[in-house]
Structure 1
Amino acid sequence: MRKKITLMVITLAIVVPIISAITFPVVTQWWDAPPDLPREPDEVILFSVQFDESGEGPKAGDNREQLYKYSVLGRVAITDPERRREIVSAVQRDIRAGAPAQARCFYPRHIVRVVKDGTTIDTVICYECHNFKVHVNGGFHRGLTRAIGSESRPLLNQILADAGVPLAP
């Protein structure tokens, strides 16, 4: 019995460090922070999107524009540089401030597209569960994101409403 325990301890002492060394680069990639949004963007577009609870994407006959499997209800391009900075600043503040907790639903209703020097960063936001995803130049950012605050939500909703863009229920 004692030999088995000793053998098990020695095996674990050898195997665990090897597995850790192999998986460490992968694990650290998961925790990469999303890129900061540029303070002086060349372009900002707000999208109002509707999620599909089935996760299957658009149904047959749904001809609405799709962005990351979400139906686009409308969009507004922000032309005023000061307004662009206000939006970027509000969303970045929410990313940094976070929220007390995250849920798992991820039913996004907002996408904020920020373009600077040819790089496009799309922030897909679910204020309901305080989760967000980041896509850089259309690709998915592999890092995990922490909870996002919701102080920017009224601003984004107001801009979309003022432009006559419907909001998802």
Structure 2
Amino acid sequence: MSLSGIFQSRAGLLWLCLLLWSCQEAAPPAGAKLPSEAEAALRLAPKWELFSLDPEVEPDDAQPETFHGWKVLGSVEIRDEATRQRLLESLKASVAANPGVVAACFSPRHGIRVKQNGEQHDFVICFQCYYIRWYPHDEPESGFNPTDSPVDAFNSVLQQANVPLPAQPK
């Protein structure tokens, strides 16, 4: 059946409406917040490990030097509380500012690992696609949606530590 035929039939029109409705439901609400457990882990951890990831490498947990399957280009340990707070505040603000936009891609260029109260929390971040995968307790959890506004702050911290950055999106 041609595309015009789908739109002419009632069943096709109903299918299209359901598809659009389901995509809309998957988008985050505007003004969303970081999950409280994720925010607490990031805020209270005494250090962060910030990763630079290669978004062009398909996930493969068998490769050494990966972060949840993505090739690690380098990382830096962030012990300075002011730097961690600046990055956290930029992340929180970007999640709150996301108007409900989510892309269909996932090309992460950043990652964060924190350990707080003996629990590990990992964040695989794709600012380009407006999605962060959160792994509390080393288990996959639902993610959340930032904007791309924190990318310069994250890249600046990596560059100051001479950590290579991946190619930036075009």
TM-score, length of structure 2 as denominator length: 0.67
Q: How does 1:130-141 map to 2 (within 5 A)?
A: 130-141=130-141
Could you say which residue in structure 1 is the equivalent of 2:161? Answer: 163
Q: Quote the Cα distance in structure 1 between the aligned partners of 2:105 and 2:123.
A: 17
- Relative contact order: is structure 1 or structure 2 higher (C-alpha 8 Å, sep ≥ 6)? 1
Q: Deviations over 1:12-44 (max 9, x none)?
A: xxxxxxxxxxxxxxxxxxxxx743322232121
* Identical-residue share of aligned pairs (%): 26
Which stretches in structure 2 are left out of the alignment for 5+ residues?
A: 1-33
Partner of 1:37: 39
Aligned-pair Cα RMSD in Å: 2.2
Which structure 1 residue ranges, 4+ long, deviate > 4 Å from structure 2? none
Match of 1:149 in 2: 147
Number of residue pairs aligned between Structure 1 and Structure 2: 131
* Aligned with 1:46 (options 29, 32, 50): 50
Give the whole-Å Cα distance in 1 for the aligned partners of 2:59 and 2:121.
Answer: 24
Moved more, 145-154 or 107-116: 145-154
SS of residue matched to 1:139: coil
Secondary structure in structure 1 of the residue aligned to 2:44: coil
What's the CA shift string for 1:25-81, capped at 9, x where partnerless?
A: xxxxxxxx743322232121100011345x35279xxx6501111000000001212
Distance 1:88 1:152, change over 3 A: same
Alignment of 1:57 with 2:60, yes or no, is yes
- Contact 2:49–2:78 (8 Å) recurs in 1: yes
Q: Work out which of the two has the higher radius of gyration on C-alpha atoms and give 1 or 2.
A: 1
Show the counterpart of 1:84: 84
